[in-house]
Amino acid sequence: MKRLVVWLVGPAVLVAALLYVGGGWYFSGQIEASGLAVRYSSPDRSLEVLHVGRGTVTLVETGADVPALHDDATYGLGWDGGYGQIYGPAKRDKRGTESGEVTRRLKVLKGDGPRKGDMAGLDRDAFPADAPVVAVGKSVRDVNYRSGGGTFPAWFVPGRGKSWVILTHGGLGTTRAEALRAMTTTVDLAMPSMAIAYRNDEGLAGGLNGQYTYGRTEWRDLEGAVQYALNHGARDVVLVGYSMGGAITASFLQHSTLASRVSRVVLDAPMLDFGETVNYGAAQRTLPVIGHVPASLTWTAKQFAAARYGVDWAKVDYLDDSEWLTVPALVFHGDEDMKVPLSTSEEFARDHRDLVTLVTVPDAGHVEAWNESPRAYDKALRAFVVGR
């Protein structure tokens, strides 16, 4: 009988071991490829322009699905020679949904309007990355600041008063343009505003092993930007961080001697626990035969990632001990965020009921709170940064 049990159990144990060793190794590589490896985005041009009307554009998908096209959210629309914003309800072709034609309101912001046959693409940042002047006006300047990681560029718009706003974009191919949506508000309030770049941005020096470190190294670049502001007349600063920029902001507040000069914090879909973000992404995946990825396999993959890529999961968890937050914070997070779990922002708010105001935005995906309702976002941000 014992031999029979061993004969039956032995192969099962071997299969399980192979699954966890092989699967753990494979998924640790996925963590590196999708979360640690530095990459840069290229414009998507998979929407074909079918018709341009007076203040409207009709588009059709020619490649992968573009869900935002069918929503009523405000998005940038780029095409060769121009850039604009689409907004308002999506109107579908009267022949039904089979044609895929969608008409949206269009506001041209830069260059010539699109023409029939042009290929275009949506842009969550909503303003052209090569022309910040479109979003924040002609007074925008290119400035440079220094940190231990090198010299980094920033867009700076002068203003009145001694409270500067410093905006830090997220990782994974995003750029300073991600900050332009909120920057339109802070510039309108005449607050000196600075959207910064940091290590591993395209064309700039890299950080630890040329990887994103979710604040472990990047916080020093934010510190350099804060020092620049203080050297140029700032009394205090308001920090705005998007996604991984939220982790950078948290790490700065945790480690920097300049943290005492921060008066307020704004976080948009902040990645305050990279490990939990990995868990969240894994839970959305399925495997043949066994279905959902077991939590134990995700744990194994994370241990492999720690050994292979030097990920210190404790040091990129800013929720375990969030005593670094000592000033009021405004947090935006969409309830349809498939990248960073809303639960992490909810935990942050529970841990700091006296300091954190959490704005949960229905139907908003990752860093899309502004896109779902620009006016509501502007109103909440405006009231917060001026202390009302």
Compute the distance between CA of residue 370 and CA of residue 291 in angstroms, rounded to an integer.
Answer: 35
What is the pLDDT at residue 14?
Answer: 46
Q: Are 3 and 10 in contact (CB under 8 A)?
A: no
Per-residue pLDDT of the chain (388 residues; tens, 9 = 90+): 555 444 544 454 445 555 677 778 888 989 998 999 998 888 889 999 999 999 999 999 998 899 999 999 999 999 999 999 999 999 987 654 566 899 999 999 999 999 999 999 999 999 999 999 999 999 999 999 999 889 999 999 999 999 999 999 999 889 999 999 999 999 999 999 999 999 999 988 776 567 999 999 999 999 999 999 999 999 999 999 999 999 999 999 999 999 999 999 999 999 999 999 999 999 988 766 566 788 889 999 999 999 999 999 999 999 999 999 999 999 999 999 999 999 999 999 999 999 999 999 999 999 999 999 999 999 999 999 987 6
pLDDT of residue 165: 98
Tokens representing residue 325 in the block: 């937050």
Backbone dihedral angles phi then psi of residue 163, each to the nearest 5 degrees? -100, 110
Contact residues for 135 (Cβ-Cβ < 8 A; gap 6+)? 127, 180, 181, 183, 184
| Cβ neighbours of 57 (radius 10 Å) | 25
- The DSSP result for 217-230, as a single string, is TTHHHHHHHHHHHH
Q: Is 316 exposed, middle or buried (0-12, 13-18, 19+ CB in 10 A)?
A: buried
* Domain 133-273+317-385 class in CATH: alpha beta
DSSP for residue 37: B
Alpha carbons 47 and 60: distance in angstroms, whole number: 6
Residue 316: partners with Cβ closer than 8 Å, 6 or more residues away: 213, 214, 215, 216, 247, 273, 274, 275
Residue 131: both structure tokens together: 């022309």
pLDDT of res. 387: 78
Cα 312 to Cα 183, 197, 282: the distances in Å are 33, 24, 19
pTM of the model: 0.93
pLDDT on residue 10: 46
- Give the domain ranges of the chain: 1-37+275-312, 47-123, 133-273+317-385
Query: What is the model's pLDDT at position 11?
Result: 53
Listed residue (78, 196, 126, 188) closest to 374, CA to CA: 126
What is d(CA 238, CA 381) in angstroms, rounded to the nearest whole number?
11
Q: What is the pLDDT of residue 12?
A: 45
The answer to whether the CB of 324 falls within 8 A of the CB of 250 is yes
